[in-house]
């Protein structure tokens, strides 16, 4: 008993590991990323502390004085500065005197340190005073620290008097790494861009699904069903071509058709129209092409599913309906379509999910353009997180967008599974009487 | 309405199923197409209802040539061998379908469906789907659907194959009654000879795509044209003795069995013959006594059935009123009724 259970576990282990690695992990990682504000700037490992002008700006509202102080240069007479002064090739007495009389002193402004230098016994000339004072400039602006501790100790030695709370505020605003945040989601909810992308997505899924993946696929299936089998096979194969052609090549053919030296332009040129890129000329055209490209690829699956479902209807039902007087249209309406309910539902479910997730055809054809006219959710996530012109990739936001897709997908799948299970439940058992 | 198959041929690609068949079914007649599996019964039926186009010849309904008319235009009712009910429709919708596609009003359809479903006793099943029916119930739904549009011609492809014995008896007379009442011309395809004999005005026996004989059941039984026909009709089936013509009588070499032949039979001396003896003509009361041993005994309730191995080796079958004095391995001497034997030549042709 025990060994058989062990054996069972061993047997399912590979499957469990696969599920964990390839199904669960990506989702979990997406979830983790979506809760951060990672970007190209923050990197995905930890960051550093950099007192950049913009971080001091941020600090101004909370701690105006400290921000002001930190933005000013500061002058500290220290060993490093003295060494540098010695290297300037001036009178060595200057360095010696500074070391003897002023070691460790901090001057809050250039004016004060220069007054002190001018008052030295050696009396350096005015240009030299400038050179010397520069060696002691210990301004914190634009300096970078790899850890909080380093930042704090430097602040201390530079003579800033800060409470622990203030120190932490400084650390926060100067941190260049990523943080945990839920901001991505509030951005998704509130951004009008996202609303536009959502609308595009719904339009895209609905148009392709309704026009091509189901209706057109059904037309093809029924059409080939009534054909003699040899031409039917040929037609089905032709309709499979978009599916089996590598998508890059397939989309390239569409682009060739549409671009300004392409087929349409040449053809329209004969009628005196200026050549132009018909695909990207306006949003309306772009949509037509996006729907056609995806539609012709997607219709093939529905056609196959519907064709085989049609084949599964016993021939005798067609014979019977003919004998019963049904015209071809009545046969389709009353015999075929009612029995296609499950295949249609299946194709709808499957294609909704794959349309939601796929963007390669759009990326290859319109890149979401013109403007963002054909930018759909998954493409927007891709652009946000992995590839955009601005160069600042927002991994966190992109992950959050992907997560939204994942959640929608899971919810839809669960809903579909329920429908399918329900379907098997409602077929009642055979009752004899 | 008269049906005429005139020189009808049908082949599927290179497979010739029917060649030059001519068959006429009179108006209001019910004809059985009887034959073994694969002989082309369904194919013939499918050609009559327009599902298969004939590869040769003509099909006439009355005087109308329907050879090139589609099924829809032929006004026929068909009960298919596999019922071919529509699984997604209720029984009522199935039966009403021929009327619905005609565009009849819903209320009228319901009236007709009620009437016809009462006729075939399925009034209580109208709300169910075919998957929720037994085989027999499905068959009656198919029959109702075939009848509902008052067809000119009714074609039945083994409509009773899936019924239990009692229901089969009931439906036999039921179908026959409906057919008589409606005066419809009907063709019944079956390989059950009892069904054919009890339901039909005439029987056409088919073998390998050809009609071997057409006759009324009684004629066919008493006067079969070939050994095949004789063997096909009758239950339990006829048994054959093989022998030769010797000294004017049928004799089996190496045995004492000698059977005088009816005067009408003309056979040359020494010709090889087959003697068909129906079970009811081999009983204790016949005129040519032959001894043998009981090999098999079976009671069928009112009658008993015996297989008797004659001393010469061949087997005869006997059917007799129930008796309890004969058991397996008993030696018996029963007699052949020589006036009723059927004589065939070596090729199975009746002499
Ligand atoms: N569509 C077809 N293509 C090729 N051969 C066929 C086709 N339909 C029937 N046949 C052949 O024609 C012959 C007659 O078939 P048919 O269905 O008429 O037989 P049947 O007499 O109805 O037999 P059963 O009693 O088993 O129903 C068979 O040998 C069958 O294999
Ligand atoms: Mg058949």
Convert the pLDDT of each residue in A403-425 to its tens digit. 898 888 888 888 887 876 665 54
Which of A39-53, B206-220, B231-245 is predicted with the least confidence, judged by mean pLDDT?
A: A39-53
Q: Where are the domains of chain A?
A: 53-174, 185-424
**Residue A271 C-alpha, separation from nearest chain B C-alpha, in angstroms:** 49
Q: What is the mean pLDDT of residues A147-176?
A: 76
Please check whether residue A428 touches B, CB under 8 A: yes
Which of A173-187, B9-23, B97-111, B156-170 is predicted with the least confidence, judged by mean pLDDT?
A: A173-187
Task: For the domain covering B3-226, report its CATH number.
Answer: 3.40.50.300
- Measured in degrees and rounded to the nearest 5, phi and psi for residue A120 equal -70, 155
Residues A264-298: pLDDT tens digits? 888 888 888 887 887 787 888 888 999 999 999 88
Residue of B nearest to A317 (CA): B84
Which of A39-43, A101-105, B343-347 is predicted with the least confidence, judged by mean pLDDT?
A: A39-43
Residues of B at the A interface, defined by Cβ within 8 angstroms: 46, 49-51, 70-72, 74-78, 80, 82-89, 97-98, 100-102, 124, 128, 131-134, 145, 149
The CATH superfamily holding the domain A185-424 is MetI-like (1.10.3720.10)
Q: Is B41 in the pocket of ligand 1 (CB under 6 A)?
A: yes
Q: In this structure, which topology does domain B239-345 adopt according to CATH?
A: OB fold (Dihydrolipoamide Acetyltransferase, E2P) (2.40.50)
Strand, helix or coil for residue A180: strand
Predicted local distance difference test score (pLDDT) of residue B47: 93
For residue A321, CA distances in Å to A77, A112, A223, B73 come to: 104, 106, 18, 12
Q: Which two tokens stand for residue B72?
A: 């829809």
Of B82, B101, B132, the CB nearest to A325: B101
User: DSSP class of residue A141?
Assistant: T
For residue A174, pLDDT over 80 is answered with no
Q: Where are the domains of chain B?
A: 3-226, 239-345
Cα atoms found within 13 Å of the Cα of residue A362, Cβ hemisphere only? 29
On chain B, the residues whose CB falls within 8 A of the CB of A327 are 72, 101
CA neighbor of B180 nearest in space, from B3, B2, B27, B23: B27
Predicted local distance difference test score (pLDDT) of residue A424: 55
Nearest CA to ligand 1 atom 3: B12
Look at A317 and B78 and tell me if their CB atoms are within 8 Å.
no
Predicted local distance difference test score (pLDDT) of residue A423: 57
Residues A344-359: pLDDT tens digits? 888 988 899 889 888 8
Predicted local distance difference test score (pLDDT) of residue A422: 61
What lies within 8 Å, CB to CB, of B93 at 6+ separation is B86, B100
Whether the model pTM is above 0.90: no
Look at B86 and A320 and tell me if their CB atoms are within 8 Å.
yes
Question: Which A residues 261-320 touch B at CB under 8 Å?
Answer: 314, 316-317, 319-320
Query: H/E/C letters for each residue in chain B?
Result: CCEEEEEEEEEECCEEEEEEEEEEECCCCEEEEECCCCCCHHHHHHHHHCCCCCCEEEEEECCEECCCCCHHHCCEEEEECCECCCCCCCHHHHHHHHHHHHCCCHHHHHHHHHHHHHHCCCHHHCCCCHHHCCHHHHHHHHHHHHHCCCCCEEEEECCCCCCCHHHHHHHHHHHHHHHHHHCCEEEEEECCHHHHHHHCCEEEEEECCEEEEEECHHHHHHCCCEHHHHHHCCCCCCEEEEEEEECCEEECCCCCCEEECCCCCCCCCCCEEEEEECHHHEECCCCEEEEEEEEEEEECCCEEEEEEEECCCCEEEEEEECCCCCCCCCEEEEEECHHHCEEEECCCEEC
Q: Which residue has the higher pLDDT, A109 or B274?
A: B274
Of B51, B89, B133, the CB nearest to A322: B51
Q: What is the mean pLDDT of residues B98-118?
A: 93
Q: What is the mean pLDDT of residues A222-226?
A: 92
CB atoms within 10 A of CB A231: 10
**Residue A354 C-alpha, separation from nearest chain B C-alpha, in angstroms:** 30
Of B80, B86, B132, the CB nearest to A431: B132
Element (H, E) at A20: none
């Amino acid at each position: 008993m025990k060994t058989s259970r062990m054996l069972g576990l061993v047997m399912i282990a590979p499957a469990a590991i696969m599920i964990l690695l390839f199904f669960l992990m990506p989702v979990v990682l997406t979830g983790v990323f979506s809760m951060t504000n990672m970007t190209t700037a923050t990197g995905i490992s930890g960051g550093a502390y950099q007192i950049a002008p913009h971080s001091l700006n941020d600090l101004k509202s909370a701690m105006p004085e400290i921000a002001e102080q930190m933005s000013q240069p500061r002058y500290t007479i220290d060993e490093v500065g003295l060494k540098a002064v010695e290297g300037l090739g001036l009178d060595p007495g200057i360095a010696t005197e500074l070391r003897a009389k002023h070691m460790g002193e901090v001057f809050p402004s250039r004016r004060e340190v220069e007054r002190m230098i001018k008052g030295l016994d050696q009396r350096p000339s005015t240009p030299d005073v400038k050179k010397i004072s520069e060696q002691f400039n210990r301004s914190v602006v634009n300096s970078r620290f790899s850890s909080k501790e380093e930042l704090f100790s430097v602040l201390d030695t530079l003579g800033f008097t800060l409470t622990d709370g203030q120190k932490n505020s400084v650390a926060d605003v100067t941190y260049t790494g990523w943080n945990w945040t839920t901001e991505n989601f509030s951005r998704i909810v509130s951004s009008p861009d996202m609303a536009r992308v959502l609308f595009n997505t719904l339009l895209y899924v609905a148009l392709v699904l309704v026009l091509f993946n189901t209706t057109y696929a059904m037309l093809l299936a029924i059409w080939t069903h009534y054909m003699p089998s040899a031409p039917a096979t040929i037609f089905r194969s032709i309709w499979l071509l978009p599916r089996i052609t590598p998508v890059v090549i397939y989309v390239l053919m569409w682009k060739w058709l549409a671009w300004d030296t392409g087929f349409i332009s040449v053809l329209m040129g004969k009628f005196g129209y200026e050549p132009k890129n018909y695909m990207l000329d306006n949003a309306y055209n772009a949509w037509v092409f996006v729907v056609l490209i995806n539609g012709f690829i997607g219709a093939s699956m529905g056609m196959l599913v519907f064709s085989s479902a049609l084949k599964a209807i016993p021939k005798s039902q067609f014979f019977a309906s003919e004998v019963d007087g049904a015209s071809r249209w009545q046969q389709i309406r009353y015999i075929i379509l009612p029995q296609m309910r499950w295949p249609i539902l299946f194709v709808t479910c499957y294609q909704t999910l794959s349309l939601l997730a796929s963007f390669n055809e759009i990326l290859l054809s319109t890149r979401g353009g013109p403007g963002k006219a054909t930018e759909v959710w998954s493409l927007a996530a891709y652009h946000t997180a992995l590839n955009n012109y601005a160069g600042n990739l927002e991994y966190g936001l992109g992950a959050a967008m992907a997560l939204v897709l994942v959640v929608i997908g899971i919810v839809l799948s669960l809903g579909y599974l329920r429908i399918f299970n329900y379907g098997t439940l409602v077929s009642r058992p055979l009752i004899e009487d | 309405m008269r049906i005429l198959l005139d020189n009808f041929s049908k082949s599927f690609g290179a497979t010739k199923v029917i060649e030059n068949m001519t068959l006429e079914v009179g108006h209001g007649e019910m004809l059985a197409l009887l034959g073994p599996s694969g002989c082309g019964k369904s194919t013939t039926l499918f050609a009559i209802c327009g599902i298969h186009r004939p590869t040769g010849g003509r099909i006439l309904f009355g005087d109308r040539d329907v050879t090139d008319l589609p099924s829809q235009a032929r006004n026929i009712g068909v009960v298919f061998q596999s019922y071919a009910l529509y699984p997604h429709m209720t029984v009522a919708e199935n039966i009403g379908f021929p009327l619905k596609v005609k565009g009849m009003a819903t209320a009228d359809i319901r009236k007709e469906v009620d009437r016809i479903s009462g006729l075939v006793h399925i009034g209580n099943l109208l709300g169910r789907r075919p998957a929720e029916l037994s085989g027999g119930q499905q068959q009656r739904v198919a029959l109702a659907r075939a009848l509902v549009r008052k067809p000119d011609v009714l074609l039945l492809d083994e409509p009773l194959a899936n019924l239990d014995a009692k229901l089969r008896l009931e439906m036999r007379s039921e179908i026959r009654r409906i057919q008589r009442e409606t005066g419809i011309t009907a063709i019944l395809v079956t390989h059950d000879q009892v069904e054919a004999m009890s339901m039909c005005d005439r029987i056409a026996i088919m073998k390998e795509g050809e009609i071997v004989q057409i006759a009324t059941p009684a004629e066919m039984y008493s006067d079969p044209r070939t050994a095949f026909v004789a063997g096909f009709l009758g239950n339990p089936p006829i048994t054959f003795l093989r022998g030769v013509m010797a000294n004017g009588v049928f004799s089996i070499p190496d045995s004492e069995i000698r059977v005088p032949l009816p005067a009408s039979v003309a056979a040359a001396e020494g010709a090889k013959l087959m003697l068909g003896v129906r079970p009811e003509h081999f009983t204790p009361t016949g005129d040519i006594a032959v001894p043998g041993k009981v090999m098999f005994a079976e009671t069928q309730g009112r009658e008993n059935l015996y297989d008797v191995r004659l001393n010469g080796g061949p087997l005869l079958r006997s059917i007799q009123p129930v008796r309890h004095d004969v058991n397996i391995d008993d030696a018996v001497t029963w007699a052949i009724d020589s006036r009723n034997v059927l004589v065939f030549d070596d090729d199975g042709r009746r002499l």
